[in-house]
């Protein structure tokens, strides 16, 4: 394979993976889970000890 074809395939692969992750992240079913994970840095450490 030539370098040009290899670069094009690599770019296409990364683009497909990125779009797949974006679709998964914005899928309505995952909204509550992602929002709760987003609140982890703001949780009180006392909550973690329980």
Q: Is-contact 24 30, C-beta < 8 A?
A: yes
> Which pLDDT belongs to residue 14?
98
38 backbone dihedrals φ, ψ, rounded to 5°: -70, -20
Report if residue 41 sits inside a domain: yes
pLDDT tens sequence across 2-43: 889 999 999 999 999 999 999 988 898 988 888 898 899 988
Report if residue 31 sits inside a domain: yes
How confident is the model over 46-50, as a mean pLDDT?
59
Report if residue 49 sits inside a domain: yes
22: tokens are 């974006």
Is the pLDDT higher at 26 or at 49? 26
Chain centre to alpha carbon of residue 28: 14
Report if residue 1 sits inside a domain: no
Enclosing domain of residue 24: 19-50
Report if residue 3 sits inside a domain: no
Answer whether 0.85 is exceeded by the pTM: no
């Amino acid at each position: 394979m030539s370098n040009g074809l290899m670069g094009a395939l690599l770019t296409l692969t990364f683009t497909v993976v990125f779009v797949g992750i974006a679709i998964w992240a914005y899928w309505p079913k995952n909204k509550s889970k992602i929002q709760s994970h987003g609140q982890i840095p703001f949780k009180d450490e006392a909550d973690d000890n329980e």
